Amino acid sequence: MRASGSGPGPDRTPPLALYVHLPWCLRKCPYCDFNSHEQRGELPERSYVAALLQDLEGQLPRVWGRRLESVFVGGGTPSLFAPESVDELLSGLRALLPWRPDLEVTLEANPGAVERGHFRGYREAGVNRLSLGIQSFDPALLERLGRIHDGADARTAIEQAQRAGFERMNLDLMFGLPGQSLRQGLDDLRTALDFAPGHISWYQLTLEPNTLFAARPPALPPEDSVAELFERGQALLRRSGYTRYEVSAYALAGSECRHNRNYWEFGDYLGIGAGAHGKLTDPTTGTVTRLLKPRQPDAYLRDPQAVSSQPVAPRSLPFEFMLNALRLTAGVPASLFAERTGLSPDRIGTLLAQARERGLLDPDPAVLRPTEHGLRFLNDLLEMFLEDDDPPD
């Protein structure tokens, strides 16, 4: 069932972002469930960049007339690629798709996998936002996580990035680590805050399927200890001027990640690279389609334009929309549901009423926003929007 006049159309197509996946890393971390592959020998940088551009060229017919709002280069460990390769990549992207004038270009980097001087090269290539995978500044905790850097490497990387001119920077930190005490967790946050980054991603370690930690689980801190660390850490971040604008993202005013906000607001994005995902809305029909590239780098390099696609069934759209939108602490306008899914608001009216009655959603009908209780029990809230069958039109 489509909402009359409210679905996506030529003038209401969602913003478009681009995700670029560089799948190699020096060593696979035991908690990582991303599509990453340990480097064996010399990286095929030139052939992989060429494949990425060929990949994008093949997807252009899906996005004619649209411009990019953001680019995110993730991995793996993108900082294994030389600045010259990143420059070639970004130059090629600019030639294929129009960019908004103040486009955000993020590159992920690991302190143990970036050579001195590379930060300045990335900045000169056009990267204007850096995301550093710190995880912890404590050497013992880093060793337990299988990281290849120590605390000194992390501090040096941040300082070098700041000297290279990166004013927009994210620091990735984890908590609830094997053997981590309350003091160690707060010390990690205090150390990060000393550098005054605009953005901090602070999230709890989880044991994901198909990882080494899932097969051989480490001893994690008790739940009550982790809960206390979370509460005290949030208070510390608030006192330091950071707003929790997403479940695990904290930012100073104006430093939110535009690329990730587009995901959470159910925007569109192209994905290029081995194992990259995409989500596109047809401007004529409003159909939302998921796209997936081959996972293995060798298979991807053989045929960069290979892609599998699957339209999202209308019965799945409410859950997929809420899975993203309800991660935002300020929520989204209620009207965005119809704009981004093409479904009538009546489709979820009863569910919204039930969620508000349970105290999981803000009672204001103009906004879809989780309450504090809803954020704490977010999985329970999201499960309410799972549908088994498509209701009749």
Q: Which residues of the chain have pLDDT under 50?
A: 1-6, 9-10, 389-393
48 and 127 inside one domain = yes
Q: What is the number of structural domains in the chain? A: 2
> Does residue 278 form part of some domain?
no
> Does residue 279 form part of some domain?
no
248 and 118 inside one domain = yes
CATH of the domain at 363: 1.10.10.10
Whether cis (ω within 30° of 0) applies to the bond prior to 179 is: no
Q: Distance (Å, rounded) from C-alpha 327 to C-alpha 378? A: 8
Q: What is the pLDDT of residues 18-35, one digit of tens each?
A: 999 999 998 889 888 888
127 and 237 inside one domain = yes
> Does residue 76 form part of some domain?
yes
237 and 338 inside one domain = no
- Given 247, 262, 277, the domain boundary residue is 262
Q: Distance (Å, rounded) from C-alpha 391 to C-alpha 393? A: 7
195 and 326 inside one domain = no
98 and 194 inside one domain = yes
> Does residue 294 form part of some domain?
no
CATH of the domain at 216: 3.20.20.70
**Three-state SS at 297:** helix
**Which residues partner with 270 through β-bridges?**
18
Q: Distance (Å, rounded) from C-alpha 227 to C-alpha 97? A: 45
Q: What is the pLDDT of residues 78-102, one digit of tens each?
A: 999 999 999 999 999 999 999 999 9
Q: Within its chain, how far is the Cα of 20 from the centroid?
A: 12
233 and 330 inside one domain = no
> Does residue 305 form part of some domain?
no
254 and 337 inside one domain = no
Domain that residue 134 falls in: 16-262
317 and 249 inside one domain = no
> Does residue 54 form part of some domain?
yes
- Cα torsion at 159, 164, 168, 171 (round to 10°)? -30
Model pLDDT, residue 1: 33
185 and 77 inside one domain = yes
370 and 240 inside one domain = no
pTM for the full predicted model: 0.94
> Does residue 256 form part of some domain?
yes
> Does residue 9 form part of some domain?
no
320 and 246 inside one domain = no
- Region of 236 please: left (phi>0), alpha (psi -120 to 50) or beta: alpha
Model pLDDT, residue 33: 82
- Cα torsion at 295, 298, 302, 304 (round to 10°)? 40
Q: Which of 134, 61, 128 is nearest to 90 (CA)?
A: 128
Token duo for residue 107: 């590159």
Residue with token string 């709002």: 69
Which residues have C-beta within 8 Å of that of residue 318, sequence separation ≥ 6? 337, 341, 343, 347, 348, 351, 385, 387
Count of CB atoms within 10 A of residue 37's CB? 17
Model pLDDT, residue 388: 56
